[in-house]
Amino acid sequence: MKEIRVLPKFVNVKNVRNFQAMIDALMLSAGEGRLAAVIGPAGRGKTRTAQWYAANKRCAFVRCLSIWRHTELGFLQALCRELGVKKIPHRKDPAFLAVMDALNTQGGRPVFVEEIEKLPRLHLELVRDLSDLSAAPFVLIGEDELQHHMRQVTRIWNRTFQQLEFEPLGLGDVVMFARDAAGIDLPADVAETLHREAGGCFRVIKRDLISLVNIMNAKARPVPDMEMVKAAIKQSLRG
Ligand SMILES: Nc1ncnc2c1ncn2[C@@H]1O[C@H](COP(=O)(O)OP(=O)(O)O)[C@@H](O)[C@H]1O
Ligand SMILES: [Mg+2]
């Protein structure tokens, strides 16, 4: 039997389709102050999806670091870097202006900012100002805490706003992932077990599928059965 492999492919699951629709809606709404939030528990694919989109459309993507908590300069410089600013300023005011210039010349592409809820409110206010003053839409990505964080910043809820929550992975998503990434058609009972045990988490499904594929290869069996999927899940828990 030819060895089965789980490839690092990006799969177009339901959350990805919802994400695409949300970005499309955001881009259609014209004007200043365009903001979106993508929320949901860890492991559902938020980061990977936003990075996939940003890479394809050449958008800026900044992941916030806690070392920026004492000053906005590090954050502004990271934005400069992502937006392709040639000479990155060493002070806050010129860095802000450089970001504004870059945003105004990049054709309204969305800017992705991840985990801003790790930073003080000032940084979120900075993003609000940047989105107010430029035509660029900003998409914030974070866990549920992001929502609370945003509520504390005034003048953020009364503007054009899209929110998307990443849902638990569905059964159809699991079947699609196994087919696209590993080229295997899961029997219904095996798919249901994988789906149930993962509690909607993409990271767990991926780990279990890799274990399952290892067992299939070791046994030279092209189709998984219930015994194999149970062993795979047990193995993942141990590993
Ligand atoms: N659409 C997808 N296709 C393939 N793998 C994905 C997809 N979305 C997420 N993953 C994988 O699932 C795992 C969790 O995704 P991640 O983006 O880190 O989740 P989150 O940011 O919500 O915590 C990662 O290993 C990632 O590569
Ligand atoms: Mg993430």
pLDDT at 159: 65
Confidence (pTM): 0.95
Does residue 44 have its Cβ closer than 6 Å to ligand 1?
Answer: yes
Residues 96/76, Cβ–Cβ less than 8 Å:
yes
Measured CA to CA, the distance from residue 59 to residue 183 in angstroms comes to 31
Please state the atom number of ligand 1 nearest to the C-alpha of residue 44. 22
Distance 196 CA to ligand 2 centre (A): 22
Nearest ligand (C-alpha, residue 117): 2
Residue of minimum CA distance from atom 24 in ligand 1: 203
Residue of minimum CA distance from atom 5 in ligand 1: 10
Residue of minimum CA distance from atom 27 in ligand 1: 48
138 bridge partner residues:
35, 111
pLDDT at 161: 80
DSSP code per residue over 189-223: HHHHHHHHHHTT-HHHHHHHHHHHHHHHHHHT-SS
Nearest ligand (C-alpha, residue 17): 1
In terms of Cα–Cα distance, which of 79, 87, 137 is closest to 107?
137
pLDDT at 160: 61
pLDDT at 152: 84
Query: In the chain, what are the domains?
Result: 31-165 (3.40.50.300), 171-238 (1.10.8)
pLDDT at 32: 65
* Regions of the chain with pLDDT less than 70: 32, 157-160, 238-239
pLDDT at 158: 62
Q: Helical H runs in the chain?
A: 14-28, 46-57, 73-82, 92-104, 121-133, 145-151, 171-182, 188-198, 202-219, 226-238
